[in-house]
Structure 1
Amino acid sequence: MRPLPRDSPLRVEHYFSTDGKWCYVLLWVVERGRKATRWALLKKRLIAACPPASSPLGIDSYYFNRRQETATEQNPQVFLFMFSCYDRMGLLHDVTEVLCELELTIRRVKVSTTPDGRVVDLFLVTDTRELLHTKNRKDEACTQLRAVLGDSMCSCDIELASAELAECLQASSSLPPSVTEEMITLEFQEEPSSSLPRSSVSVDNSLSHAHSLIQIQCHDHKGLLYDIMRTLKDYNIQISYGRFNAAENGNCNIDLFVVQNDGKKIVDCNKQKALCSRLRMELSCSLQVNLISRGPDTELIVANPVELSGKGRPLVFYDITLALKILKIRIFLAEIGRHVVGDREWEVYRVHLGDDHELCESRDKIVEAVTKMLMGWH
């Protein structure tokens, strides 16, 4: 499913079940955002993610066609959204917010500040509506951006990105050894750090003759269901029935009756151990946040694992820029790139902070604020 609108952080009590053909999902939701949830858009996205109630060629034909469509979606048209304007506090977040409102997905970004105080932003984006090749859609994007930036915007242009340009913008410098070492450590770490909320994950095969029961107890965070579902998806685990409950104190209890992709229970002890270990790691530290010094510069690095399908976590850049805007920290340079560390691919956000961060917040407070924004702990 595509990411939900950025202003819809929802607390969910979730029930779902399937008989192998029909799937029943019940969501009790409560608005927690500062802005009204765009319910019509949410409904549209949910419907788009579901198969039709009836298909003239049958459900098997639908899923065959859907797999072909998914293969096409993995290589959508990529556009270069470039503009320049005069710098100000919170500029990058305001631009990111506009792109989210326009339903443009940021794939890569290069942001730099010139000596005369101008900012040159290059965004590689894809369009959820698949209309960015039209003049009306391009005009809508530039007009909406100008409405936010006002007279400070110098130029705005959108064009189809060439393969050479996309490859050039995607190039990313190597990660500091301390960051890659931490990624590798977390990759093989069965228990989370004592500073992180502990999660309990177990597999029980005694309660059902046909399904394995995965029981999860953890602390709530933004994207909790996403982290669970993408992990099970990567392990080719299918859910037949599930119940999710989040208490007011933030503790969550999740019961999932599952089978492997061959329709059988998870009986191999090594598979059970590997799955539980990965779930504990993902639920306790699904994102990594580091603040490092590189000579005279200070760099904020946020990394999250990429799904096997190639999709990255939605709205990470939005949350990073919002946290820095609230802290009144300027962004001098930013980029998004992907790196393979160990046996996993990571999407890495690198943000060079302006010198004024030393005057307003300590390093630990910056890391804490960004982490809380990303995890929804605020």
Structure 2
Amino acid sequence: MKRMGMSWEDVVLIEGGKTSTDPTVVTVNCPDKAGLGCDLLRIVLEFGLYVTRGDFSTDGKWCYIVLWVVPRPSSLRVDWESLNKRLLSCCPSCLPTFYLNQLSDCSKPPQLYLLKVFSLDRKGLIHDVTKVLCELELAIQRVKVMTTPDGKVLDLFFITDGMDLLHTNIRREKTCEHLRVVLGECCISCELQLAGPEYDIQQGLSCISEAVAEELFSCELSAKEDRAQTLSADVSKVKKASITVDNLLSPTHTLLQIQCLDQKGLVYDILKISKDCDIRIVHGRISSSVKGYRSLDLFIQKKDGKKIVDNDNQVALCSRLKEEMLHPLRVIITNRGPDTELLVANPVELSGKGRPRVFYDVTLALKTLGICVFSAEIGRHSTPLRQWEVYRFLLDESRGFPLTSNRAKRDIVDKVRRTLMGW
């Protein structure tokens, strides 16, 4: 079937590079909708892809998006066919009946499933399970990991399925079989079932002390935190994010010129703010990284199609963008009684969706350091301005990695942050 002279098979096109090192070109050409760019970039990030550059254009009714992407790390295996289907599912598009179904289903929460993995404990266990789930396009919504006194671990993963197939026996059996193969003799049992209504995704609020919450969610960054957040190979080259607002160049658009340190999920974070603030990016260009820095030129409008001329609105938008660019994820180590606790937090979209692959990156960093996790959980925490997704890990101090010294704690925070930021 065709519409406006274009085959619906061409709504999403994925073209590999001429060589193995060239980026893959992802093109989306479809009807526009509010927040579409953010939704597409979230899927790209979920597949572990890094955007080397990109172009956006829309007339308010139809949009054209081109992204040049590469896997990070380069050894990552990407199911391009599955990516195509996931991106296509975001587009208000393929067939009129499918489009109507999308509109009626978009408000429905994703079906939640409970994965129970009971196994013998070992280093890197949680990350190995998480890696399998990511490879199978299963998104982790909440986690509860508990270590028993006799050296066994019960992992409870509350997951949703990007492929929407977990209602089938084949998909559930395939997931459990993959986990049994990866865990080997450590695996005692593996069960996957539909979670009951008592396990609603919006439950699981994280109880955090007032002092810890103040440190984790503070809007104002101290000079020490600011320097720590912008760690790079050459600290002398670190500079803050720069945003220039220009209302003179275009008669109908406000131009935002952004330059900041390159990092994982940067484009998603910026588009998340535009989506939450009802800002439409009419034209956008994402330039390639130069010496570790990215430049973006965004021609934007308010929801009513007008420029942003009010100074207070400009300041508020730039402030939110800078916070996302300088401090998109919060990482601290604190004490919970006699235990050492690692906390990671990120603000969720107004739609309630959290950032993809955070649990994957944190557990990868801990596995690389050789640190075992005694218990872990994912919850939500609300502050006056926004809701946060909070990842909490009680670290095991009995496995050879010293956690008592301040130097060791700084090394853990540094490694986790660098992994999360892709540095």
With normalisation by structure 2, the TM-score equals 0.81
Shift of residue 104 of structure 1? Answer: 1.1
Asked if 1:141 corresponds to 2:175, the answer is: yes
Contact in 1 for aligned 2:204/2:378 (Cα 8 Å): no
Partner of 2:120: 86
Q: What is the alpha-carbon distance in structure 2 between the residues aligned to residue 318 and residue 237 of structure 1?
A: 31
Q: What is the alpha-carbon distance in structure 1 between the residues aligned to residue 221 and residue 422 of structure 2?
A: 26
Q: How does 1:1-378 map to 2 (within 5 A)?
A: 1=39, 3-4=43-44, 8-33=48-73, 34-52=75-93, 56=96, 62=99, 66-72=102-108, 75-166=109-200, 170-186=203-219, 193-195=226-228, 196=230, 197-355=239-397, 356=399, 358-359=401-402, 362-377=408-423
Backbone CA RMSD of aligned residues: 2.5
Shift of residue 161 of structure 1? Answer: 1.2
Contact in 1 for aligned 2:206/2:380 (Cα 8 Å): no
Matched residue SS, 1:3: helix
Contact in 1 for aligned 2:380/2:390 (Cα 8 Å): yes
Alpha carbons of 1:301 and 1:70: their partners in 2 closer, same or farther (altered >3 Å)?
same
Alpha carbons of 1:164 and 1:52: their partners in 2 closer, same or farther (altered >3 Å)?
closer
Matched residue SS, 2:130: helix
The one-letter amino acid of 2:83's match is L
The one-letter amino acid of 1:231's match is I
Alpha carbons of 1:98 and 1:265: their partners in 2 closer, same or farther (altered >3 Å)?
same
Shift of residue 307 of structure 1? Answer: 0.6
The one-letter amino acid of 2:215's match is E
Q: What is the alpha-carbon distance in structure 2 between the residues aligned to residue 363 and residue 183 of structure 1?
A: 16
Matched residue SS, 1:312: coil
The one-letter amino acid of 2:120's match is Y
Matched residue SS, 1:107: strand
Partner of 2:26: none
Q: What is the alpha-carbon distance in structure 2 between the residues aligned to residue 30 and residue 250 of structure 1?
A: 16
Alpha carbons of 1:67 and 1:52: their partners in 2 closer, same or farther (altered >3 Å)?
closer
In the TM superposition, what whole-angstrom CA distance separates every residue of 1:144-170 from its partner, at most 9, and x where no partner exists?
110101122111111211122448x94
Q: What is the alpha-carbon distance in structure 2 between the residues aligned to residue 165 and residue 366 of structure 1?
A: 32
**Alignment length (residue pairs):** 369
Shift of residue 227 of structure 1? Answer: 0.4
Contact in 1 for aligned 2:370/2:401 (Cα 8 Å): no
Q: Specify every segment of 5 or more residues in structure 1 that has no aligned partner in the other structure, as ranges.
A: none
Contact in 2 for aligned 1:7/1:35 (Cα 8 Å): no
Shift of residue 202 of structure 1? Answer: 2.5
Alpha carbons of 1:40 and 1:171: their partners in 2 closer, same or farther (altered >3 Å)?
closer
Q: What is the alpha-carbon distance in structure 2 between the residues aligned to residue 107 and residue 184 of structure 1?
A: 21
The one-letter amino acid of 1:46's match is L
Farther off after superposition, 19-28 or 262-271: 19-28
Contact in 2 for aligned 1:5/1:42 (Cα 8 Å): no
Contact in 2 for aligned 1:243/1:256 (Cα 8 Å): yes
Shift of residue 15 of structure 1? Answer: 1.1
Contact in 2 for aligned 1:189/1:281 (Cα 8 Å): no
Matched residue SS, 2:175: helix
In the TM superposition, what whole-angstrom CA distance separates every residue of 1:19-71 from its partner, at most 9, and x where no partner exists?
22221222223344222333222222222222336x558xxx94x75443220
Dislocated runs of 4+, deviation >6 Å = 187-190
Contact in 2 for aligned 1:180/1:341 (Cα 8 Å): no
Alpha carbons of 1:267 and 1:368: their partners in 2 closer, same or farther (altered >3 Å)?
same
Q: What is the alpha-carbon distance in structure 2 between the residues aligned to residue 350 and residue 99 of structure 1?
A: 19
Contact in 1 for aligned 2:137/2:162 (Cα 8 Å): yes
With normalisation by structure 1, the TM-score equals 0.91
Alpha carbons of 1:151 and 1:293: their partners in 2 closer, same or farther (altered >3 Å)?
same
In the TM superposition, what whole-angstrom CA distance separates every residue of 1:306-346 from its partner, at most 9, and x where no partner exists?
11011000110000000000000000000000010222100
The one-letter amino acid of 2:80's match is W
In the TM superposition, what whole-angstrom CA distance separates every residue of 1:272-304 from its partner, at most 9, and x where no partner exists?
000001100110000000001122100000000
Alpha carbons of 1:103 and 1:229: their partners in 2 closer, same or farther (altered >3 Å)?
same
Matched residue SS, 1:362: helix
Percent identity of paired positions between Structure 1 and Structure 2: 49
The one-letter amino acid of 1:369's match is K
Alpha carbons of 1:15 and 1:357: their partners in 2 closer, same or farther (altered >3 Å)?
farther
